[in-house]
Structure 1
Amino acid sequence: MIAAIDHIVLTTARLDECIAFYCDALGMTLERFVGGTPAVERLALRFGRQKINIHVQGKEFEPKAQLPTPGALDLCLIAALPLAEVIQQLQARQIAIVEGPVLRTGATGKINSVYVRDPDHNLIEISEYLS
Structure 2
Amino acid sequence: MKTSLDHCVIHVSDWERSGAFYERVCGAEIVPDKVGFSLRFGEQQLNCHGPGKAAEPLARLPVMPGGSDVCLRWHGPIDDAVAHLAEQNVPVEMGPVFRQGAFGRGLSVYFRDPDGTLLEFISYDV
- Note the 1:1-131 alignment, pairs <5 A: 1-33=1-33, 40=34, 43-57=37-51, 59-68=53-62, 69-130=64-125
Tell me, in whole angstroms, the C-alpha distance in 1 between the residues paired with 2:27 and 2:68: 19
CA distance in 1: counterparts of 2:77 and 2:15, whole angstroms: 29
- SS of match in other structure, 2:107: strand
- 1:31-60: per-residue Cα shift (whole Å, max 9, x none)? 124xxxxxx555111111011111105633
Q: Distance in 2 between matches of 1:58 and 1:99?
A: 34
In 2, Cα distance between equivalents of 1:82 and 1:60: 40
Secondary structure, in 3 states, of the residue corresponding to 1:120?
A: coil
Q: CA deviation at 1:81?
A: 3.0
Farther-moved stretch of structure 1 (58-67 vs 85-94): 58-67
Change (3 A) 1:130 1:27: closer
Give, as a single letter, the amino acid of the residue that structure 1 aligns with 2:30.
Answer: L
RMSD of Structure 2 on Structure 1 (CA): 1.8
Task: State the identity %.
Answer: 37
Instruction: Indicate if the aligned counterparts of 1:29 and 1:45 stay in contact, CA closer than 8 A.
Output: yes
What is the one-letter code of the residue matched to 1:59? Answer: K
User: Per the alignment, do residues 14 and 79 of structure 1 end up closer, same or farther by CA in structure 2, a change over 3 Å counting?
Assistant: same
TM-superposed CA distance for 1:65, in Å, is 1.9
- Unaligned stretches of 5+ in structure 2? none
Cα distance in 2, alignment partners of residues 15 and 98 from structure 1: 24
Structure 1 residue runs of 5 or longer lacking an equivalent are: 34-39
TM-score by length of 1: 0.85
Q: TM-score, normalised by structure 2?
A: 0.88
Instruction: Say which SS state the counterpart of residue 116 (structure 1) adopts.
Output: strand
Given that residues 114 and 126 in structure 1 are in contact (C-alpha distance below 8 angstroms), is that contact kept between their aligned partners in structure 2? yes
